[in-house]
Amino acid sequence: MNIAVVGCGTVGGATALHLIENADAIRTRYSIDIRLSAVVDKDLSRARRIGLPDALLSQDVEPVLSSPEIDVVIELVGGTGFAFTLIERALSAGKHVVTANKALLAHRGRELFAAAHAAGVSLAFEASCGGGVPIVRAIYDGLAGARFDAIYGIVNGTCNYILTQMIRRSISYDDALAEAQRDGLAEADPALDVGGHDSAHKIAIMAALAFGVRVDYDSIRVGGIDSLDLIDVQMAGRLGYVPKLLAIAERTASGLSLRVGPALVPQAHPLAWVSGPFNAVSVYSYPTGHTMYYGRGAGGSATAGAIVADVVSIAVGGYPAVFAAPGIWPDQTPAAQIADATQTARRFYVRALVDDRPGVLSELADHFGTHGISIAGMHQDEMADNGDALAPVVLITHRVVEANLADAVREIAALPEVAGRCTVLAIVDEPREALIDHA
């Protein structure tokens, strides 16, 4: 099987080297010949720097698309413009395609899956959701036949690294971001990562596969960690929680709930202990229960491993067989019925900065009670006698419909005794279905 890699950046270069260096091991293990036949990029400086043979290098993709000898095209150019055209043309030419392009699949995956099915070839994308974490294969193969209840994912290493530094070293978001940028763990423009959109692309893909529906990216409510204050990280820790940027897909009675944003995870949950740039995805399904998938979510080597695994699966026929199954892929499934996030009930953390005087706490509690919100706990640090008249107060609610909480918080923020905005963070609990004994 002849392979062409299009795009020779960090991941493309690592993939090309992996294909060359492990060809013998793959042949021995699977009795298949996988040959890297071409590496295409407009800038070949990295390809030459890492020692790829000149005979493989080209700046012209046309010979790859027109050659009947090329069986698989690995798209690693990124973006949603040229990459879409490249993949569509490769599929139409009868070539299997492997991609790590999460944004493209989240926004235009339906068109590409349809093109692949029409041409009788495969579009493989393990590396798009978790880098080296094999979550795509777990969903469509390892948990085949399961009923999915929820997916909770830490799927952005930049955000998880920043939050880990804030937790461990008590440094601000800005300082942690600057450090991540110095260490090469955050882009110069980190908006896609810290704003939650990278994670949203990934949960769109995972949710479509797990729940057998077509997901409109715009139906995902997206928030980031860029407005998270250090005081909330510290307060959460004292109360037994760890802040994480979570990508969440949950089955509810009114439809599929899709959201990305900072949330508090109980310290006893395995996701709470995923630190640094690592990724993890918790999956709740019946009858299997809770499973978790952990590993490096980015980087050349980890992502290359997932890409080559897709190539091997195509070569041995495993992926094409699954890809031919109806009712799994987004071009063959109905549009998702999306639950109204504001009508979803969950627990919340609410912090307000209030005047440190008698009666304020009871006034806050009264406003919550007016909206039918039950308070599970309240925390206020003992204030030093230094003349500071403002005190942070944290309230933990029982399960409450989000819209009701939002109304109460708006009223509280408008009180003269409350300074600035109130911080509201969702608390993540085990899915309610997972707590039911189905036996």
* 8 Å CB contact between 231 and 195: no
Residue 332: predicted pLDDT: 87
CA 204 to the chain's CA centroid:
9
Give the closest residue to 337 by CA, choosing from 263, 251, 399. 251
Q: Which residue has the tokens 């708006």?
A: 410
Token reading at 128? 């798009």
CATH superfamily of 341-429: ACT domain (3.30.70.260)
Residue 357: predicted pLDDT: 78
CATH number assigned to the domain with residue range 2-125, chosen from the 4 options 3.40.50.720, 3.40.630.190, 3.30.70.260, 3.40.50.300: 3.40.50.720
Q: What percent of the chain has pLDDT over 90?
A: 79
Length of the chain: 439
Q: What's the CA gap between 114 and 120, in Å, rounded? A: 10
Is a pLDDT exceeding 70 seen at residue 436? Answer: no
> Residue 183 forms beta bridges with which residues?
none
- Residue tagged active-site, from 42, 95, 102, 202: 202
Residue 388: predicted pLDDT: 63
- Helices 173-182 and 157-169, packing angle to 10 deg: 120
pLDDT in tens, 364-388: 888 899 999 999 998 887 665 555 6
Q: Measured at the alpha carbon of residue 129, what is the angle toward residues 302 and 108, in degrees to the nearest 5?
A: 130
- SS3 category, 427: strand
332: left (phi over 0), alpha (psi -120 to 50) or beta: alpha
pLDDT in tens, 330-345: 888 999 999 988 888 9
Quick one: pLDDT band at residue 256, thresholds 50, 70, 90?
A: very high
91 φ/ψ angles, rounded to the nearest 5 degrees: -65, -45
Give the closest residue to 199 by CA, choosing from 292, 266, 103. 103
Quickly count: other Cβ atoms within 10 Å of residue 380's Cβ: 14
Residue 439: predicted pLDDT: 40
Q: Is 102 a catalytic residue?
A: no
Residue 385: predicted pLDDT: 57
Whole-Å CA distances, 118 to 93, 95, 323? 11, 12, 12
Once rounded to an integer, what is the mean pLDDT over residues 152-161? 97
Q: Quote the mean pLDDT of the chain.
A: 92
Is a pLDDT exceeding 50 seen at residue 437? Answer: no
Q: List, as one string, the DSSP characters of 274-306.
A: --TTEEEEEEEEETTEEEEEEEE-SSHHHHHHH
- SS3 category, 168: helix
Q: What's the CA gap between 42 and 2, in Å, rounded? A: 21
Whole-Å CA distances, 316 to 66, 93, 124, 364, 414? 24, 21, 14, 63, 63
Domain boundaries, given as residue ranges, for the chain: 2-125, 135-296, 341-429
Once rounded to an integer, what is the mean pLDDT over residues 65-79? 97
Residue 117: predicted pLDDT: 93
Quick one: pLDDT band at residue 195, thresholds 50, 70, 90?
A: very high
Per-residue exposure over 335-359, b if at least 16 CB sit within 10 Å of its own CB, e if not: ebebbebeebebbbbbbbbbeeeee
Token reading at 390? 């403002």
Whole-Å CA distances, 5 to 12, 50, 95, 105, 341? 7, 15, 13, 18, 41
* 8 Å CB contact between 173 and 226: yes
Q: Which residue has the tokens 């919550």?
A: 368
Residue 341: predicted pLDDT: 83
Is a pLDDT exceeding 60 seen at residue 287? Answer: yes
Once rounded to an integer, what is the mean pLDDT over residues 388-395? 84
> Residue 355 forms beta bridges with which residues?
390
Quick one: pLDDT band at residue 157, thresholds 50, 70, 90?
A: very high
Worst-scoring range by mean pLDDT, 124-133, 164-173, 252-261, 317-326?
A: 317-326
153 φ/ψ angles, rounded to the nearest 5 degrees: -125, 130
Give the E-state strand segments of 7-68 in sequence order. Answer: 35-40, 57-58
Once rounded to an integer, what is the mean pLDDT over residues 315-343? 87
Is a pLDDT exceeding 60 seen at residue 434? Answer: no
Is a pLDDT exceeding 80 seen at residue 168? Answer: yes
Give the closest residue to 74 by CA, choosing from 300, 296, 304, 302. 304
Worst-scoring range by mean pLDDT, 15-19, 183-187, 228-232, 249-253?
A: 183-187
Worst-scoring range by mean pLDDT, 26-35, 177-186, 357-366, 386-395?
A: 386-395
Instruction: State which fold the 135-296 domain adopts.
Output: Dihydrodipicolinate Reductase; domain 2 (3.30.360)
* 8 Å CB contact between 110 and 80: no
Give the closest residue to 155 by CA, choosing from 69, 59, 220, 92. 220
* 8 Å CB contact between 2 and 70: yes
